[in-house]
Amino acid sequence: MKNFYYFSKNKLKFVEIRNFYKKFLFLLLFFSFLISFFLFGAYFIINEFVNPDAEVKTLQAENRELKQKLTFFADKFEDFENQLAELSETNDELRLVANLDPLEDEDRTFGTGGSILENINLSTSEGVDSLLNDLNGYVDKIILSLNFEKNNYSEIKTTLENNSKLYDAIPALKPTIGRYGDKFGMRYHPILKIRRMHYGIDILANRGTEVYAPGAGVVEFVGRKGGHGNTVIINHGFGYKTLYAHLSKFKVKKGQSVKRGDLIALSGSSGSLATGPHLHYEVTHNGIALDPRNFIFDDVKIFEFKKQLASK
């Protein structure tokens, strides 16, 4: 390795420079840093003089982009509100289908109405702040509206499901074939020889004629019941029950679930109040006797109904 020397006037001789390379490298880095610092400083100073509005223009560009995004979201929110309005109209129609009371206008007190961009100047900071506040309020109102329509739809869905169960359960068919005998209401009893209430209807049917469930339900009673003789009672739910009396044979057991058109018994003349083979049929709702003829669709025959069920 080469040694470097310098001439010392004090000592009048050449003196060796120790650690020359380390000192040289340090000085090189130090001066490089100084030069770079002055160059960058000079660049920023010159740029400030030559282009003093560069930072302002950058901020303006960012503001324009922000305003475009705000306008985009405002338009999206308005479009979303229009879709919510359509959903509200659909729910109102479904309420009618479900036989629910229509909602009044005051039930929906959170409608926004109008354009969110009305009378807002996005060229000022106050206008942007106003739009941001409106957007926040918009979001809160949309959340309220969504929750309202969600609860509204849930009520409609539950009601439609209950209606479907009710339609399956309601006693809507004539339970056996045969001509109608004594009607519902006050009558002169053929055996007791007095006027008394007849709580059902009689259907004249030969002994052994099949008796079918007119609606879905659960068999509540199977056995003898005083003057009614052999009796079946079906609980259809929703407060409805049906009674079948003077039977000759049971085809169901207590606790058994039945659906419309299921065979439940055979007609007969059991019981002390039977004058001959027939089916005594009653319908009650919450314990109150109703005229069964009001529930029977005479244009739908039980065998036609069973044939349609079998074809499904």
All structural domains of the chain with their residue ranges: 5-50, 54-169, 179-311
Q: What is the pTM of this model?
A: 0.59
Report pLDDT for 85. Answer: 75
Report pLDDT for 220. Answer: 97
Report pLDDT for 288. Answer: 94
The CA-CA-CA angle for residues 18, 24, 26, to 5°, reads 110
Three-state DSSP class for 284?
strand
- In terms of pLDDT, which residue wins out, 15 or 246? 246
Distance separating the N- and C-terminal Cα atoms of the chain: 106
Report pLDDT for 148. Answer: 80
Mean pLDDT within 162-179: 90
DSSP string, 146-203: HHHHHHHHHHHHHHHHHHHHHHHHS--S-SS-SEE-S-SEEEE-TTT-SEEEE-SEEE
Strongest mean pLDDT among 13-27, 31-45, 120-134, 213-227: 213-227
Report pLDDT for 70. Answer: 67
Report pLDDT for 79. Answer: 75
Mean pLDDT within 94-113: 67
Strongest mean pLDDT among 10-24, 189-203, 264-278: 264-278
The CATH superfamily holding the domain 179-311 is Glucose Permease (Domain IIA) (2.70.70.10)
Share of the chain above pLDDT 70, in %: 60
Mean pLDDT, the chain, as a whole number? Answer: 77
Report pLDDT for 268. Answer: 95
Report pLDDT for 175. Answer: 94
